[in-house]
Amino acid sequence: MSYTIKDDEVDIVIAALHSELTSFMEEWRPIFSRFHIIIVKDPDLADDLKIPGGFNVNVYTKSDIDRFVGSTGAKLHFSGYSCRYFGYLMSRKKYIISVDDDCVPARDAKDLAIDAAAQHITNLSTPATPFFFNTLYDPFRPGTDFVRGYPFSLRNGVACALSCGLWLNLADFDAPTQSLKPKARSSRYVDAVLTVPTQALLPVSGVNIAFDRELIGPSLFPALRLAGEGKLRWETIEDIWCGMCAKVVCDHLGHGVKSGLPYVWRKEGGDAIESLRKEWEGVKLMEEVLPFFQSVRLPRSAVTAEDCVLEIAGMVKERLGS
Amino acid sequence: MSYTIKDDEVDIVIAALHSELTSFMEEWRPIFSRFHIIIVKDPDLADDLKIPGGFNVNVYTKSDIDRFVGSTGAKLHFSGYSCRYFGYLMSRKKYIISVDDDCVPARDAKDLAIDAAAQHITNLSTPATPFFFNTLYDPFRPGTDFVRGYPFSLRNGVACALSCGLWLNLADFDAPTQSLKPKARSSRYVDAVLTVPTQALLPVSGVNIAFDRELIGPSLFPALRLAGEGKLRWETIEDIWCGMCAKVVCDHLGHGVKSGLPYVWRKEGGDAIESLRKEWEGVKLMEEVLPFFQSVRLPRSAVTAEDCVLEIAGMVKERLGS
């Protein structure tokens, strides 16, 4: 049932929103150095990237993006956080692990760096179980199993297409929440991975995810850009949108989505109160977007992620307008 | 949004499958002594119960059960594990916490007994969020909140009607799994509570649960008894059945179900391999039962748990026969 993922089947994709990547790359060296790495420089960033040696890395910059957009006529925007999606497009590997450049490895109780790449690979290489809830969490983790009463016919599970990690320190709150609780920091390490049940939607954060590009790659693209969004994660909701899109596609195609481990350690961000005005637009938009995604029913003829995304795009145009 | 539950709104219900309850009650004394307790003696048990003093307790025995069954003409069997349901029926409190007599308080990292009652009460007194998945687990726990992208319109949540705890040591595996992994013990303490999303079914274990009797009490009753089932938890599936029934009722009425904390420590059980033959019936039955529960759609006219259970009973008679 489980599948062994080789190192050369994986691309690490990093959206460079900062030009100085030295300490980031050094922190991740023990974990990332065995993989091929794609770094996409935010086209709005002026300074040259500083990347230490010793990595197997391809760097894409504004000129690469312009050439691609020019040649395909695609109306896609790859600036800011969205530049990661250009990395997803350029990858030729089966799996992608994507980590933001303001995150470093989280540390376990013994102060050892947690190998987020290995955990994502474990999540993707073991089946997901979206059709019945296992109260003992991911049954494919060593030390656990299916709970009594779990139907045997569902124990093979399905392919896991998306692994959503969490983070410690700066929690994944929105600007209103962070403004109300300016000192809130996330310190609870929940030692669990679980499959998000079919039909249940979740907000994906692009900060720390991994996915099977062959299965659902086309569903992860920069579809939504807020007018006047800023350069802080909580001022954007492109990843929330594309995560719901990916979940709907997974549900339709019968793939699974896992959430939980691995954790990364996220460094301090900006000023939540200043961001509040910008984020508000995204928060309001969610109220319209959710009923839309909840009601999406894809036709049987949509048998690939690409088919599904084209169908969803058509429905968005028709029903959401903006 | 949260509601304060007073001690006198809670009944602790204990199904006594062993007559010697002294050490069990002493272990739980610091936690249970502030509540009213209902102990139901398994009608198959011959010896008198040994219950230490200092508790506010009502004991029900075979004669109480016989009198009730005689007076109502109910075709209910309250023997073995099912005797707990008689306690649920006798309770006049809003909330019930039910713990098996082979469980003692789990201990935290500082070796202090975990107050399972307090955690169940917290689960029931704070809202559940079944309509959208919160990747940060129960947003009403101190130290966490709703994740970025969680729709504001859903942040009030709904009443939590059922709290399903877990256990350490002897894990909640079925007899086939326990036979394959005779040494498997559950030692991972996952520090999380989460709402099981609407439409997702789960197997409930009656070993360590709490519920709002006024909201869903009628959905927890001994509907299913296997021919030739034994006296070990893994030889029964009455709680699995009634848990699916309760989840369907909660989904229909718009109530929530939480799973996770609290843990209790479960002592060693019997011989899994000997149980295998008996359990197999239950395992096979699950394969038929699941599609049934997945397909149950209750009419709008069913507005209480009692209405829902009567509807489900009718459908069972019609579609499952046995």
Which of chain A's residues have a Cβ under 8 Å away from the Cβ of B171?
Answer: 136, 144-145
* B226-261 confidence digits (pLDDT tens): 666 666 666 677 888 888 999 999 999 999 999 999
CB contact under 8 A, B290 and A203: no
Task: Find tokens 């319109």 and name the residue.
Answer: B153
Mutate to test the interface with A, among B100, B131, B132, B135 (most CBs of A within 10 A): B135
Q: How far is B201 from chain A (nearest CA, A)?
A: 6
Which of A133, A203, A237 shows the shortest C-beta gap to B196? A133
Residue B95, SS3 per DSSP:
strand
Say how far apart CA B75 and CA B118 lie, in whole Å: 35
CB contact under 8 A, A205 and B135: yes
Say how far apart CA A215 and CA B63 lie, in whole Å: 62
Interchain contact B182–A (C-beta under 8 A) = no
Which of B198, B259, B287 shows the shortest C-beta gap to A152? B287
Could you say which residues from 103 to 142 on chain A have a Cβ atom under 8 Å away from some Cβ of chain B?
Answer: 132-137
Say how far apart CA B252 and CA A276 lie, in whole Å: 37
Task: Find tokens 């006049």 and name the residue.
Answer: B92
Residue A313, SS3 per DSSP:
helix
A265-269, B141-145, B171-175 — which one is most confidently predicted on average? B141-145
CB contact under 8 A, B186 and A143: yes
Nearest-by-CA chain B residue for A189? B191
Concatenating the DSSP letter of every residue in B160-208 gives: EEEEEEEEEES----HHHHHHSTT--B------EEEPPTT------TTE
CB contact under 8 A, A199 and B199: yes
Nearest-by-CA chain B residue for A244? B149
CB contact under 8 A, A135 and B202: yes
CB contact under 8 A, B133 and A201: yes
Which of chain B's residues have a Cβ under 8 Å away from the Cβ of A146?
Answer: 173-174, 177
Q: How do the domains of chain B map onto residue ranges?
A: 7-96, 102-319
CB contact under 8 A, A200 and B202: no
Say how far apart CA B65 and CA B70 lie, in whole Å: 8
Q: What is the ipTM of this complex?
A: 0.92
CB contact under 8 A, A190 and B187: no
Nearest-by-CA chain A residue for B242? A149
Say how far apart CA B222 and CA B57 lie, in whole Å: 23
Mutate to test the interface with B, among A135, A156, A168 (most CBs of B within 10 A): A135
Task: Provide the pLDDT for residue B233.
Answer: 64
- The amino acid present at B281, given as its one-letter code, is E
**pLDDT tens for each residue of chain A, 322 residues long:** 567 999 999 999 999 999 999 999 999 999 999 999 999 999 999 999 999 999 999 999 999 999 988 887 767 788 888 899 999 999 999 999 999 999 999 998 888 999 999 999 999 999 999 999 999 999 999 889 999 889 999 999 999 999 999 999 987 888 788 888 877 788 899 999 999 999 999 988 888 999 999 999 989 877 666 666 666 666 677 888 888 999 999 999 999 999 999 999 998 766 667 666 666 677 777 888 888 999 999 999 999 999 999 999 899 888 876 5
Size of interface A-B (CB pairs under 8 A): 172
Which of chain B's residues have a Cβ under 8 Å away from the Cβ of A134?
Answer: 202
A253 vs B77 pLDDT, higher one: A253
